[in-house]
Amino acid sequence: MDTNIEKASDAQQKQTTATATLRQMPRILVAEDDPEMRRLLVWNLRKEGFDILECGDGWEFLDHLGNPVLSGDPDDFDLIVSDIRMPGVTGMEILEGIHEAEWFVPMILITAFGSDEIHKQAEELGAAGMFDKPFEVEDLIKRIREVLVLDSPLGHNWRPKAIKKTPLMKIPVDVVFERMNHLEYIADKVRESTSILKNIHDQILYCRVVLTGPSPSQPKRYHVQIMVTLSNKVFVVRSNLKSIETEGELSEAIPTAFQVTLGKIQKYLASQLN
């Protein structure tokens, strides 16, 4: 009887572990030099299930990101939350560095020295959010979930759906339009561009492409975000908000987004072989 219970428990544990692997949440880097504030942020974000790395100054920030981040290849994190003023390099300087790249990891800034000028600079550099201290952590979490499209009536959440094996190496993909009408020619471009990932199709559990139209504060800005889920890692590629100003440019940017995604996944897979 005890043996049967033990076997059942082992089976349940294996199933739970497999489910947890499939449901891996995004990886977020938190950069904050105030120890109390950093602990508060890290505790709340981990409570939400996010995979968190933390650092306490600008030098450690750079160590976590590595030099490639400044040349537009920050592929170790899905989102960054950073204080603006820290010893060493500042959050704004990091944002300015990666802003020069066409594709970059979303970055949310927080500060105790907010002003209209600081907010304007952050927006021009493509910050995904800006919070003045003190702020409600729940509001930050809400913004993170919006940026990573974790909540939606249509089910745009991070947890991958069960994907059936498909013939002809086709990759199942969800195409989501936010703040814009569904455009079939753009949806077709997305489905066509998934062929760029065909050589790794057997490792992909789920793919979602979110195409976002202009907002009132940015009337001529479109962007594309691709999320590809493997069995143990989620990859996010997000366009620079300043680089896509028309629906035609949005369509043209989609194959590039898939090429960038492929490069990040191949780099990760190669690292697993070492």
pLDDT digits (tens, 9 = 90+) for 23-74: 467 889 999 999 999 999 999 999 988 889 899 888 888 777 764 434 444 4
Hunting for tokens 């020069």 — which residue is that? 100
Residues 225 and 171 in one domain: yes
Does 42 share its domain with 140? yes
- Domain of 225? 167-273
Domain count within the chain: 2
φ/ψ region of 57 (left if φ > 0, alpha if ψ in -120 to 50, else beta) reads: beta
**pLDDT category, 83, cuts 50, 70, 90?**
very high
> Rounded distance, CA 191 to CA 170, Å?
9
CB 32 within 8 A of CB 58: no
186 and 101 assigned to the same domain: no
207/261 same-domain check: yes
Please give the model's pTM, rounded to 2 decimal places.
0.62
Of 112, 147, 182, the one marking the end of a domain is: 147
Whichever domain contains 135, its CATH number is 3.40.50.2300
Which CATH number belongs to the domain containing residue 243 in this structure?
Answer: 3.30.160.100
Kindly state whether residue 5 falls inside one of the protein's structural domains: no
With CA atoms as reference, report the closest residue to 146 among 102, 178, 122: 178
The reply to whether 31 and 142 lie within a common domain is: yes
